[in-house]
A and B are shown apart, each in its own frame.
Chain A
Amino acid sequence: MIRENPSQSSVGSGSIDPGSRFAHSVGRHVGERIIEVLLFLAAFSAVAVTIAIVAILVFESTEFFKHVSLVDFLTDTQWTIMFADKHYGVLPLLAGTLVTTTVALMLAVPVGTVTAVYLSEFANPRVREVVKPTLELLAGIPTVVYGYFALLMVTPALQWFMPDLPGFNMLGPGLVIGVMIIPYVSSVAEDAMRSVPASMREGSYAMGATRMQTSLRVVVPAATSGIVAAYILGISRAFGETMVVAVAAGQQPNFTWDPREPGATITAFIVQVALGDLPHGSLEYQSIFAVGLVLVLMTLFFNVLGHLARKRFREAY
C-alpha cells in the first residue's frame, strides 16, 4: 500500500501548482470526483425511493378520491369495495389494524420489558450472550410461517379455552404478532437500560437497595425514553405486519373492537385485492394506494415519535 511514485503523494486536496510534480493530481482529481458523485447518487437513492413511494401513493390516491369523498372514506363504517353495494369507509380496516396491534402490544410490552430488565440487570452475561441472538431469530422467521402458526396452531389452542372462537379471528394473529415483536421491544429496551451509567446503579446499591429496587426505581426510570422508543418500534412493526393477519384473521373488513371476531387490517386488505387480478386503473386498484397512504402516514407518525424519544434519551446521557 506504500507507493514510491512521488506523484501519488498528493492527497488531491485541490490546490494545483502547474509546473511542479503535483500537477499529476489533476487527472486523479477528476477520477476521485467521479467516484464521489457515483457514491453520492447511491446514497441519494434513499431519498429517491421515498419520493417515489410518496408520489405513487399520492397520485393513485388522488384518483381514488376523485370518486370517493374524503368524508365517506373517514366516517363510513363499511368497507365493501369487493361487493356490488360499495362502501368506502376505512374505519373497519383501521379498527382491524388497531385491534391486532393492541393485542400484540398487550403481549409484547410486558413480556419484552420484563425480559429486557431481566437480561440487563439480573441475568449473568453468559445467559445474555446466548438468549439475545436466540430471541433475534424470532424476528428472522418469515411472516408467512407465523401465519401458519397462528392459523393452524395458536387458534386451535385458543379454541381449547374458548370453544366459541371462530377459526378466523384477530386474537390468534394478534398474539402471534406479539411474539414476533418481542425481540424488537426487548432488544432496544435492554440497550437503553444498559446505557444507563453504572455510577447510578452503584449509587442505588450503596444505599442498600436490592436488585429489583435498583432496576425498577432507578434503571427503568432513567431509561424511560429509550424504552418508549422500543415500544414505538414494536407498534410500527405490528402496524405494518401483513401476512399473519392475511392468513389467519379471515380477510373480512369488520367494524368491531372484539378481537375474537374475524377482521381485516389495512395490510390484509391490500393483499386480498392484489390476489384478485384487478385491472390497472380501476377503483379497487386505486383503493389499495389510498389505504396504503393511511398506513404510511401512521407509520411515519410513529417513526417520528420514536425518533424524538431516542433523541431525548441520547441527550440525557
Chain B
Amino acid sequence: MSNDPQAIRRLVVLGRRYDRLFAIVGMMAMMVGILTLAVLLAGLIHDGAERLNWDFFQNFPSRRAERAGILSAIVGSSLVMLITAVTAIPLGVAAGVYLEEYARRNWITEIIEINVTNLAGVPSIVYGLLALGLFVYALDFGQSILSAGLTLALMILPVIIVSTREAIRAIPGAIREGAYALGSTRWQLVRDHILPYSTGGILTGVIIGLARAIGETAPIITIGALTFIAFLPPSPVTGDFPFLSFEWLESPFTVMPIQMFNWLSRPQAPFQVNAAAAGIVLVAMTLLMNGVAIWLRVRFRNRIKW
C-alpha cells in the first residue's frame, strides 16, 4: 500500500468497477422475485384463460371438466369471509386498542404480547388442527362454514392486532393530552379520536388479513371441508319473518382455494385448465385486495402528517 496518487487512482477505478458489478448483481437478485411473479401470472393466464367465461362463474363443480364452475366455491368463500370478518375485526381491533391505550406495563400484558407475536409465526395448518379438535369436534360445529370462518378468524387475528397497534402508535401523544384536557374519558378518547384517526392503518391490516384468509387452503382442508359441493348453502335471507336464517352457518361448503386444489390433484389435463382458471380468479382477488391495502397505506401516509 502506498499513498502514491497513481496507485490510489488504480484502486479507485477498480473499486468503481466492483460497485457497478454489485449493482448489476443486486438488480438481478431483485428481478428474481419480480420475474417469477410475472412468469407465474403469465403462465396461469396462458393455461387458464380459455376456461374463463361467464359459465365458469355460474356452474357448479362437475365430473366433466368443461362444464365445471366455481359458483359454490365463490359463494362458500364469501360466506366464510363474512364470518371471519365479523369475528376477527372487532376482536382484533379491541385487542389492539387495549394493548396500546389501556394495558399497564405488567406481566399479563407481557404474556399477551408474547402470545400475539408467537401466534403470528404459527404455521396456518396448526390453526387447522386447533379447529379440528375445538370447533369441529369439541364444540360440535361440524365441518361447516362456521368452523371454517372461525378458524381463519383466529389465524388473521395477530395480523389485525399488530396493524391496529401500529396505526394507533402513530398518533402523537399530544392528541391524547388534548382530549384528556378537554375532559374526555379514556373510552371517549378512543371512540372520538384514536379509532377515527387510525382507521386507515387498521383497514390496511384488515384487508391484508382477509386477503390471506381468502387464499388459505391448508387449515380448511384440515377441518375436512368437502370438495365436491354441487349445491349452495341455505340463503341467509328468507321470505318469512324474521327474514334471516342462520342455517347456512352449519352447511357443508367449499371455498375457492379448495376447489382449485381439488382440480389440481386430478391427473386429467382438462381439470388442470380449470385449476389454472380458478387460480386466475384467486390471484386476481388477492392481488386486488393487497393492491388496495398498499394504496390505502400510501394514501393515509401522505394525507396525515402529524
Chain A residues in contact with chain B, CB under 8 A?
1-3, 8-12, 28, 31-32, 35-36, 38-40, 42-47, 49-50, 52-53, 56-57, 59-60, 110-112, 114-115, 117-119, 122-123, 131, 133-138, 140-149, 151-153, 179, 182-183, 186, 208, 210-213, 215, 233, 236, 239-243, 246-247, 267, 270-271, 274-275, 277, 280, 288-289, 292, 295-296, 299-300, 302-303, 306-307
Q: Can you list 14 A-B contacts with CB-CB less than 8 angstroms, sorted by A residue number? A: A9-B183, A39-B97, A44-B112, A46-B161, A53-B122, A115-B32, A122-B22, A123-B26, A134-B37, A137-B291, A144-B264, A233-B121, A275-B221, A303-B118
Which of B23, B27, B29, B123 contacts A240 (CB under 8 A)? B123
Q: CB distance B33 to A296 under 8 Å?
A: no
CB distance from B98 to the nearest CB of A (A): 4
**Given A118-B30, A296-B126: A49 in contact with B15 (beta carbons within 8 A):** no
Which of A2, A60, A236 contacts B121 (CB under 8 A)? A236
Q: CB distance A56 to B283 under 8 Å?
A: no
Interface centre among B99, B129, B279 (most CB of A within 10 A): B129
Instruction: Point out the residues of chain A lying under 8 angstroms from B179, CB to CB.
Output: 1
Instruction: Point out the residues of chain A lying under 8 angstroms from B15, CB to CB.
Output: 210, 212-213
What 0/1 readout, one digit per residue, does chain B (234-276) give for beta carbons within 8 Å of chain A? 0000000000000000000000010011001100000010011
CB distance from B283 to the nearest CB of A (A): 6
Q: CB distance B126 to A46 under 8 Å?
A: no
CB distance from A201 to the nearest CB of B (A): 14
Interface SS of B by simple majority: helix
Q: CB distance A46 to B129 under 8 Å?
A: no
Closest 7 pairs between A and B when the two form their complex, measured CB to CB: A240-B123, A118-B26, A142-B215, A42-B94, A56-B133, A39-B98, A9-B183
CB distance from A154 to the nearest CB of B (A): 9
Chain B residues in contact with chain A, CB under 8 A?
12, 15-16, 18-19, 22-23, 25-27, 29-30, 32-34, 36-37, 39-40, 43-44, 47, 90-92, 94-95, 97-99, 102-103, 111-112, 115-119, 121-130, 132-134, 137, 154, 157-158, 161, 179-180, 182-187, 192-193, 208, 211-212, 214-218, 221-224, 257, 260-261, 264-265, 272, 275-276, 279, 282-283, 286-287, 289-291, 294
Which of B25, B102, B214 contacts A114 (CB under 8 A)? B25
Instruction: Point out the residues of chain A lying under 8 angstroms from B218, CB to CB.
Output: 143, 242-243, 246, 267, 270-271
Question: CA–CA, A118 to B33, complex, Å?
Answer: 14
Q: CB distance B98 to A43 under 8 Å?
A: yes
Instruction: Point out the residues of chain A lying under 8 angstroms from B214, CB to CB.
Output: 142
**Given A1-B179, A144-B217, A274-B222: A46 in contact with B26 (beta carbons within 8 A):** no
Question: CA–CA, A92 to B39, complex, Å?
Answer: 33
Q: Chain A: which residue is nearest B269 at the CB level? A: A152
Question: CA–CA, A144 to B125, complex, Å?
Answer: 13
Instruction: Point out the residues of chain A lying under 8 angstroms from B282, CB to CB.
Output: 142, 144-145
Q: CB distance B290 to A142 under 8 Å?
A: no
Question: CA–CA, A95 to B34, complex, Å?
Answer: 30
**Given A111-B32, A149-B40, A153-B40: A239 in contact with B123 (beta carbons within 8 A):** yes
Instruction: Point out the residues of chain B lying under 8 angstroms from A110, CB to CB.
Output: 29
**Given A133-B294, A137-B290: A45 in contact with B91 (beta carbons within 8 A):** yes
Q: CB distance B119 to A141 under 8 Å?
A: no
Interface centre among A3, A11, A43, A288 (most CB of B within 10 A): A43
Interface centre among A144, A146, A210, A267 (most CB of B within 10 A): A144
Q: CB distance A39 to B183 under 8 Å?
A: no
Question: CA–CA, A114 to B22, complex, Å?
Answer: 9
Q: CB distance B128 to A243 under 8 Å?
A: no
Q: CB distance A31 to B161 under 8 Å?
A: no
Instruction: Point out the residues of chain A lying under 8 angstroms from B133, CB to CB.
Output: 56, 59-60, 289
Question: CA–CA, A210 to B126, complex, Å?
Answer: 47
Q: CB distance A38 to B94 under 8 Å?
A: yes
Instruction: Point out the residues of chain A lying under 8 angstroms from B16, CB to CB.
Output: 210
CB distance from B144 to the nearest CB of A (A): 15
Q: CB distance B185 to A32 under 8 Å?
A: yes
